[in-house]
Structure 1
Amino acid sequence: MYIRKIAMAVAILGAIGLGIFSYYIYNSIFSSNTAFKESSEVVYIPTGADFETVADSLRPLLKDLQTFSIVAQKKGYTQNVRPGRYVLKKGMNNNEIINTLRIGNKPISVIFNNQERLEDLAGRIAEQIEADSTELIRAFRDSTFLAKEGLDDETALGMYIPNKYEFYWNTSAEEFRARMKKEYDRFWNEERLKKAKEIGLTPSEVITIASIVQKETAKVDERPRVAGVYMNRFKNGWKLDADPTIIYAIKKKTGNFDTIIKRVLYKDLELDSPYNTYKYASLPPGPIHMPDISSIDAVLNYEHHNYYYFVADVKNFGYHKFSKTLAEHNRNKQEYIRWINRQGIKR
């Protein structure tokens, strides 16, 4: 009888212990373990990170890091950390958190436009993916890659067509570059290549002219007409006489691309630079800016007309007055000069 009582007591204690242990296990796996107040939090796990790095990142976001670590070990996550951008939702339990960290690396939207140089593009992309600007600019300027693709340091910017793309956050610089080359080839489809050939330009030359067009006018509906002016000059062997190329040449010579130049002076027209289209009749060596798709298509579908000149319209800001003759253009130009002098714009 005594032995039976002892056995029963042991059984009861064992059941209680098992219950407590089961509750602890259940609680560790299935109870909420998030400590943040917002509806969600983003966690970035860098390439090459180990579980200790993950734990450090999660420490301020979890109620109990110890139970998370135990479940992570049981599920084999501690030896299988995956880099990426992960979104944790409020109220998640350890099981859900670990499942998210294993398979929840979702693509993000990467957006870029209006970049003036490869350095600017690298900085913009580095804000959105794991690769830093140093890695990106090294990839953009890699001489082996550029030679293989028929590009150089001056034309390389034209390979990056501005748009919104989906990438994984942990994309490397080389992976980003490779994807952009594919997008460039996709952009230059049979129709666009045919149009470029019909107007006597290579895709690279189209992008160079488009970069000038975009700098000349922010009005998308006016771009085909501005493109028509430059195509008229180009086809007739004229110098392009484009003020934006002078501004770019000044910045390139001084190395100060943060300079704001609102007015081109006569002395600037003497600057000896291949980007000075007042001095040299050839196209600049490459784009002076990253043109968007509307500017590229404006060149490919430029407006056919007899205009050779244009100047800012001071009565319809953002747009321009177009002229067929130099005499007419000079009259319009004088009106613009009087206006800019009244504004006190010296440079």
Structure 2
Amino acid sequence: MSDKRVHGRAWLKLLVLLLLAAAVAVFYLGNAYTRFNSTPLNVAAGGGSIDVARGSSFRDIVADLRRQGLSTANPLYWRALAAQMRVAGKLHAGEYALEPGITPRQLLANMAAGRVLQRNFTIVDGWTFAELRQALARAEKLQHDSANLDDAAVMQKIGAGGEAPEGRFLPETYAYVKGDSDLDILRRAHAAMVKTLDELWPGRAPDLPLATPYEALILASIVEKETGLPVERAQIAGVFVRRLQNHMLLQTDPSVIYGMGANYAGNIRKSDLTTDTPFNTYTRAGLPPTPIALPGRPALVAALHPAAGDALYFVARGDGGHVFARTLEEHNRHVDCYQRKRCR
């Protein structure tokens, strides 16, 4: 056999071996890439998040994933996946949720669609504005732009300069993303309250002793603080509306407490009821000068649609509810029974 034929066979064997090696490599890489595609990232059981800074390159994002131990895959796999999905260069900045089980494909899809992580901030019915500001200061991933501003400056910043802040923000849940400001949430909550009052005021019950939507807001804040029972809100509102119509003092303890400010130590004494402040409804007629809390929509509805009846008094039963009375004599019996425990 000639040397040419021997060399030819040797080259053919080598070529076959090279092709087999290439096929094995392709098979191995294909399987590895498929596993990479479908294998969840190394996310802790409680989940987490990843920040994509504005201006980050794809290489920066992958490096951050590897640095945090979320992925140990070769960066080439990430680049191949991004090319396959046609999202390279189209990933949005922001904070993205990392839920247990999330795969590289799902994460890139979220980044390409800009599905940033949303958090929720809930304004609770009955909070004061001071409590709202304290809660905002504790909110995670929220810029605290109001931290060094007094109340008047905050109202100026949100476009409501000159307004007293109490009661002006609608209790609801507001979604936000990292980088949003506490002023953004306040601006939205203020606009929501304005919109709600604009919607409800025209449909109010006739002959209410309320001249403006702001007076309705004040009354609603009192209703909010007097009861947390939905079934009682309209009844409580009815009592206060009839007292206003009869030119009686409102005599509502929550307003007195609000006027006491830091002097309130958890109990209201007889001397507190006789110490005059702008919010002492035992010494001053009519509504207090501002709301005393942030009323929710149900309290606003109750203030504008009070229940009919003849009750002018109510006293707490001790179980969250109240007992209503038409006359002072009847009311005093209820006070003896439910507060002094001297039922007869």
Give 1:227 shift.
0.9
Paired with 2:222 and 2:131, the residues of 1 have a C-alpha distance of 18
> Could you tell me which residue of structure 2 aligns to residue 204 of structure 1?
214
In structure 1, which of residues 29, 45, 62 is the aligned counterpart of residue 51 of structure 2?
Answer: 45
C-alpha change, 1:55 and 1:138, in structure 2 (3 Å) is farther
Contact 1:158/1:204 (8 A) holds in 2: no
> Could you tell me which residue of structure 1 aligns to residue 295 of structure 2?
291
Instruction: Give the secondary structure class of the aligned counterpart of 1:322.
Output: strand
Alignment of structure 1 residues 3-82 onto 2, 5 Å: 5=10, 9=14, 13=18, 16=21, 20=25, 23-24=28-29, 27-28=32-33, 30-36=37-43, 38=45, 41-45=47-51, 48=54, 50=56, 56=64, 59-60=67-68, 62-64=70-72, 66-67=74-75, 70-71=78-79, 80-82=91-93
C-alpha change, 1:164 and 1:143, in structure 2 (3 Å) is closer
In structure 2, which of residues 302, 308, 311 is the aligned counterpart of residue 304 of structure 1?
Answer: 308
Q: Which amino acid aligns with 1:281?
A: A
Alignment of structure 1 residues 92-171 onto 2, 5 Å: 92=103, 94-103=104-113, 104-105=115-116, 107=118, 110-124=121-135, 130-133=141-144, 135=146, 142-145=154-157, 148-149=159-160, 152=163, 154=164, 156-168=165-177, 171=180
Paired with 1:58 and 1:274, the residues of 2 have a C-alpha distance of 61
Paired with 1:207 and 1:69, the residues of 2 have a C-alpha distance of 59
Contact 1:139/1:177 (8 A) holds in 2: no
Paired with 1:211 and 1:68, the residues of 2 have a C-alpha distance of 61
Paired with 1:46 and 1:192, the residues of 2 have a C-alpha distance of 45
| Total equivalences in the alignment | 327
Give 1:81 shift.
4.5
Give 1:244 shift.
0.9
Give 1:215 shift.
1.9
* Larger displacement relative to structure 2 (297-306 or 172-181): 172-181
Paired with 2:212 and 2:230, the residues of 1 have a C-alpha distance of 22
Alignment of structure 1 residues 182-331 onto 2, 5 Å: 182-195=191-204, 199=208, 200-250=210-260, 252-254=261-263, 261=266, 263-313=267-317, 317-331=319-333
Q: Larger C-alpha radius of gyration, 1 or 2?
A: 2
Contact 1:36/1:90 (8 A) holds in 2: yes
Contact 1:46/1:130 (8 A) holds in 2: no
C-alpha change, 1:125 and 1:45, in structure 2 (3 Å) is farther
Give 1:228 shift.
1.3
Contact 2:229/2:321 (8 A) holds in 1: yes
Contact 2:143/2:179 (8 A) holds in 1: no
> Could you tell me which residue of structure 2 aligns to residue 345 of structure 1?
none
Give 1:171 shift.
3.7
C-alpha change, 1:23 and 1:84, in structure 2 (3 Å) is same
| TM-superposition CA deviations, 1:218-264 (whole Å, max 9, x none) | 221122111111112223433321111122222x244x7xx5x2x42
Contact 1:118/1:137 (8 A) holds in 2: no
Paired with 1:286 and 1:13, the residues of 2 have a C-alpha distance of 86
Give 1:130 shift.
2.9
Contact 2:129/2:294 (8 A) holds in 1: no
Q: Which ranges of structure 2 fall in alignment gaps of 5 or more residues?
A: none
Q: Which ranges of structure 1 fall in alignment gaps of 5 or more residues?
A: 341-347
> Could you tell me which residue of structure 2 aligns to residue 83 of structure 1?
94
Normalized against structure 1, the TM-score is what? 0.74
Normalized against structure 2, the TM-score is what? 0.74
C-alpha change, 1:302 and 1:142, in structure 2 (3 Å) is same
Whether 1:180 and 2:186 are equivalent positions in the alignment is: no
Instruction: Give the secondary structure class of the aligned counterpart of 1:227.
Output: helix
| TM-superposition CA deviations, 1:77-107 (whole Å, max 9, x none) | 6894521342445161x33322223323365
